[in-house]
Structure 1
Amino acid sequence: MNQQNIDYVLRSVEQRDIRFVRLWFVDILGRLKNFAISPEDLEVAFEEGIGFDGSAIEGFATEENYKHFDEIAALYDEAKAAAAEEDKQKEARLAEKRAEEEAELARRKAEKAGYLLNVGAELEYYYFPDEHTPEPLDNVGYFDLSVSDAARDLRRNTVLTLEKMSVPVEYTFHAAGRSQHGMSLRHAEALSMSDAITTAKLIIKQQAYESGCHASFMPKPLAGEDGSAMFLCQSLFDHDGNNVFWGEGDEKYHLSDVAKHYMAGILAHAREISAITNPTVNSYKRITTGGDSVPQYATWGLRNRASMVRIPVYKPGKQLSTRIELRSPDPMANPYLVNAVTLAAGLDGIERKLELPPEATAETLKLTDRQMLEAGYTPLPRSLKEALDVFEDSQFMKDALGEHIHSFFLKKKRDEWHKFESTITEWEIKHYLANS
């Protein structure tokens, strides 16, 4: 963060009489952590970072490896401060840009190759009466304008709060499922977008709590309703500000060879990255029951909602908006890791000049699973266990994430799967208890 921005933040904190500055970051699994400092410590924090005991945070240093790490510093290269009224006390939430180590390495690799990754995001989520009752609060559908849209004011207040925190929202809307909602965040550099997603999820949940309900980013909370996604629109820019995904000679897709190689890299590593893009047991309920809007194969297509990578419609004169849309991730994924591994996969495709498989049209996706396999399309994992098996054997993922993150993530998610496997579900009781 340059000195001019630091001075602006320090001046804003003083002018707004902010008494506490909250620093937050995520652990490897994407769970938000935070601590607060006084304004007097803020300038030192910018210059030196803040040291804290990381032994109790999963994936950070533990007591047994203190001989290697005395403390973990919360370092950040950019920060934003915003004032909010809570319990009659002014407090700032300083959204810490503690770039995940591997995400930062991926960014530097892209920069070395002459690229900057820009990302736009669309988050989907549900509002429920409370955290124990997954019941819809309305019967409104996709983009409906209805007086029964109970959360309309809640969405508006959430957007206004995010704007105060310098998180730009393009639009918000009622999504397809009953009580499901969506929010589109304006594109930014990948690390900044990961920060924005993390902040948006917190504020969405906080505003819901203050309104007497619960916001859930669970990928598939209701059977029979749409699952929730975290759609990511990606594009690469060069150091002169040109969108290198734009292809002037491609009249159908308007994509450059760089863009096509990037897409091919993501598709080539689709199964390997699935544990990161879809990291929970519940993630695969969305994928296996998603219908015509959720990708089940490593496919790409123009305006095809069921493709893993979709090509949005090109608007003449909007070359800078040329992008691809990654549709497989869900909102329980760690956005820092998702952007890191998809960037690594795309760069691998560019470096090796990988070619795209045939486009998947709407007709293609009507084929049976057997026909899709015979046509050469690669299926995405259908369970967390399958995704973890692929993840464990992937040298690409070990290189992309680093040995520590790879092994820690694998262990925690294996534990999660084993707990699920040993759980007796309501479905089993209903179907087997009386008939056994």
Structure 2
Amino acid sequence: MDMETICKLIDDNDVQFIRLQFTDILGHLKNVAITKSQLENAFNNKIMFDGSSIEGFVRIEESDMYLRPDLDTFVILPWRPSEERVARLICDVYDPEGYPFQGDPRYQLKKALEEAEEMGYIFQVGAECEFFIFHTDESGMSTNITHDKSGYFDLEPIDLGGDIRREICLVLSKMGFEVETSHHEVAVGQHEVDFKYSNALKAADNIMTFKLAVRAIAKKYGLCATFMPKPLEGENGSGLHINMSLMKDGQNIFYDRNDPKGNGLSQEAYYFISGIMEHIKAMTAINNPTVNSYKRLIKGYEAPVYICWSCKNRSPLIRVPASRGCATRVELRSPDPTANPYLVLAACLKAGLDGIKKCSEPPEQVSSNIFKMKKSERRKLGIDNLPDNLEKALKELKKDEVIKEAIGQHVLKCFLKLKKKELKEFRNNIAAWELNKYLNY
């Protein structure tokens, strides 16, 4: 994309408004909307916003921030009106001196990608993002009543979400996504749409765009889509599975047909897996950043709990899907959709590269169902646990220099502050369960 092409698309499609989007530290999508007449100012990086009003960005005395559009991210939003249409550009955030803002999650991912490129690697990522659809009340607010009572891979008329998923896929296709599959997930009201892998920066941009599109289409049907990790007790939660590979000289370096272990994996793939496993406890604070995240990471609901890997089953933290050759990849199953994708991918890449630099070997893969193992069996195999709450995960993050470097000091400081505030609010809140349990004591 270049400015001339974008201007022609805007004129030809009656685009009148352009959303300049960016993502805050907690992974929330923000935007400054401009009219068509202000496009030249946007191209010249002259659009400002008040950074002190964005939680975790800057103090009020240093509040002016600038948005620099990434022209390759221009797209017209298909769900908006066909007249006086709306487009978007994803932006990087800069300070008044013209330097990248250290608190911009997109910048932190770019830094990690630069390190990988210096080592000769291109980081490729494919995401599998799950979500729930709920009915809304008369005021348009979400209820906890699911849109359907269907199960895994169900079809219409049992699956009431087929039309919504179809429209989501069509909208994403119009926006340049290559949608691979869509289906009903295991839990009632739960869905998944998978799109083709891409370079990591585009993948993170796509995750943010995907969440925006899903919510917009659900709202069109008078429903609410949520990416909350565990909205329903007794049901599976929603994950954001991250499939990763490294390319070098146009080849997927995770594949080796002559692997002496018989897994079809290269030595770099084993090192990468080891790096993820070594740093996963600290990464958990980034991958699972809410109090609710840890209600998904419990035994019995398919989400990973134990730190191990396998080529054969889905109970471990890390799975290597069966495809080989150019499709060889490593799947991290613990992240959830509330995570900031830019920070997740930065942390994954830095951890994997650290494993490659150290030539660290992972433990033996675990082929049996870990959820059915006794604690003594897991201990004998050296299988450790993920942190089981946000507070423990934050403590692990503070100890890990590699993951702290991955997200940067500004993001680290603000992230810890915001999450400590969240934990305090959680402790001070009286939940409905507590009232039901203890009110009559």
TM-score range, shorter chain: over 0.9
Does the alignment pair 1:226 with 2:236? Answer: yes
1:298, 1:380 within 8 Å by CA — same for their partners in 2?
Answer: yes
Alignment correspondent of 1:190: 200
Task: State the Cα distance separating 1:433 from its structure 2 match.
Answer: 2.3
Which of these residues, 351, 355, 359, is aligned with residue 357 of structure 2? 351
Between the aligned partners of 1:146 and 1:85, the Cα distance in structure 2 is 24
2:14, 2:83 within 8 Å by CA — same for their partners in 1?
Answer: no
Between the aligned partners of 2:191 and 2:46, the Cα distance in structure 1 is 37
1:47/1:78 Cα in 2 relative to 1: closer, same or farther (>3 Å)? farther
Does the alignment pair 1:63 with 2:87? Answer: no
Which of these residues, 404, 413, 418, is aligned with residue 424 of structure 2? 418
Does the alignment pair 1:295 with 2:304? Answer: yes
Which of these residues, 10, 13, 16, is aligned with residue 16 of structure 1? 13
Greater alpha carbon shift after TM alignment, 261-270 vs 47-56: 47-56
Between the aligned partners of 1:145 and 1:255, the Cα distance in structure 2 is 37
Greater alpha carbon shift after TM alignment, 167-176 vs 333-342: 167-176
SS at 1:73 equivalent? strand
1:219, 1:286 within 8 Å by CA — same for their partners in 2?
Answer: yes
Q: What's the TM-score once normalised by structure 1's chain length? A: 0.92
Which of these residues, 53, 75, 79, is aligned with residue 73 of structure 2? 79
Task: State the Cα distance separating 1:6 from its structure 2 match.
Answer: 3.6
Between the aligned partners of 1:300 and 1:289, the Cα distance in structure 2 is 16
Paired letter, 1:154: I
Does the alignment pair 1:328 with 2:334? Answer: yes
CA deviations 1:366-398 (Å, max 9, x no partner) are 222343234211210101111111112322222
Alignment correspondent of 2:373: 367
RMSD: 1.9
Task: State the Cα distance separating 1:356 from its structure 2 match.
Answer: 0.7
Alignment correspondent of 1:431: 437
Unaligned ranges ≥5, structure 1? none
Between the aligned partners of 1:417 and 1:164, the Cα distance in structure 2 is 40
1:365/1:253 Cα in 2 relative to 1: closer, same or farther (>3 Å)? farther
Between the aligned partners of 2:80 and 2:7, the Cα distance in structure 1 is 21
Task: State the Cα distance separating 1:97 from its structure 2 match.
Answer: 4.8
Unaligned ranges ≥5, structure 2? 93-104
Paired letter, 1:78: D
Between the aligned partners of 2:79 and 2:285, the Cα distance in structure 1 is 39
Does the alignment pair 1:406 with 2:412? Answer: yes
Which of these residues, 169, 172, 175, is aligned with residue 185 of structure 2? 175
CA deviations 1:9-48 (Å, max 9, x no partner) are 2221111121111121110000110111223433442343
Greater alpha carbon shift after TM alignment, 423-432 vs 145-154: 423-432
Alignment correspondent of 1:243: 252
CA deviations 1:191-224 (Å, max 9, x no partner) are 1011111001011001101101100111011111
Q: What's the TM-score once normalised by structure 2's chain length? A: 0.91
1:166/1:95 Cα in 2 relative to 1: closer, same or farther (>3 Å)? farther
Between the aligned partners of 1:7 and 1:138, the Cα distance in structure 2 is 46
Q: Stretches of 4+ moved more than 4 A in 1? A: none
Which of these residues, 224, 227, 238, is aligned with residue 214 of structure 1? 224
CA deviations 1:338-369 (Å, max 9, x no partner) are 00000000000000111011112224442223
Which of these residues, 237, 245, 254, is aligned with residue 264 of structure 2? 254
Between the aligned partners of 1:85 and 1:357, the Cα distance in structure 2 is 48
2:294, 2:388 within 8 Å by CA — same for their partners in 1?
Answer: yes
1:169, 1:184 within 8 Å by CA — same for their partners in 2?
Answer: yes
2:52, 2:60 within 8 Å by CA — same for their partners in 1?
Answer: yes
Paired letter, 2:72: E
1:50/1:290 Cα in 2 relative to 1: closer, same or farther (>3 Å)? farther
Q: Which has the higher strand share?
A: 2
Between the aligned partners of 2:336 and 2:236, the Cα distance in structure 1 is 12
1:95/1:195 Cα in 2 relative to 1: closer, same or farther (>3 Å)? farther
Between the aligned partners of 1:264 and 1:256, the Cα distance in structure 2 is 13
Which of these residues, 15, 37, 41, is aligned with residue 38 of structure 2? 41
Between the aligned partners of 2:389 and 2:77, the Cα distance in structure 1 is 43
Alignment correspondent of 1:155: 165
Aligned length: 424
Task: State the Cα distance separating 1:422 from its structure 2 match.
Answer: 1.9
Which of these residues, 38, 45, 50, is aligned with residue 47 of structure 2? 50
Task: State the Cα distance separating 1:331 from its structure 2 match.
Answer: 0.5
Between the aligned partners of 1:136 and 1:51, the Cα distance in structure 2 is 41
Task: State the Cα distance separating 1:288 from its structure 2 match.
Answer: 1.4
Alignment correspondent of 2:87: 93
SS at 2:33 equivalent? strand
Does the alignment pair 1:103 with 2:97? Answer: no
Between the aligned partners of 1:54 and 1:277, the Cα distance in structure 2 is 25
SS at 2:192 equivalent? strand
Between the aligned partners of 1:283 and 1:40, the Cα distance in structure 2 is 43
1:95, 1:195 within 8 Å by CA — same for their partners in 2?
Answer: no
Paired letter, 2:205: D
Between the aligned partners of 1:61 and 1:166, the Cα distance in structure 2 is 34
Task: State the Cα distance separating 1:259 from its structure 2 match.
Answer: 0.9
